[in-house]
Amino acid sequence: MNILFICSRNKRRSATAETIFRNHPTHSVRSAGTAESAVHKVNERLLDWSDIIFTMEKRHRDILAERYDIASKRIIVLDIPDEYEYMDEELVKMLEDMAQPYL
């Protein structure tokens, strides 16, 4: 399964998710951001590649819906606020707990 994690700037939340899940034995994982300043910006190619998309906030899902045809995509909103640093222990634990049921 191809999994895409999305936040705003792809510097902390989604980058952390990609780091902790990238060596999963049966899934491929990537991350991107919705902002112009994102390290890796979300695009049509990434969305087409993904089987499941995790967004950190509802607004990220809404931005995707405004910009792209995502009606056929499985999107999970994790509701993780932008208040954690990259690889923050609490963020890692939350991501593992919330994403695990889908993996």
List, in order, residues 6 or more apart from 25 with CB less than 8 Å away.
none
Residue pLDDT tens, the chain, 103 long: 999 999 999 999 999 999 999 998 999 999 999 999 999 999 999 999 999 999 999 999 999 999 999 989 999 999 999 999 999 999 999 999 999 898 8
Question: What percent helix, strand, coil does the chain show, rounded to 5?
Answer: 40, 20, 40
Domain boundaries along the sequence of the chain: 2-98
The pTM of this model reads: 0.95
Question: Can you identify the CATH homologous superfamily of domain 2-98?
Answer: Response regulator (3.40.50.2300)
Residue 4 CA to residue 75 CA, distance in Å, equals: 9
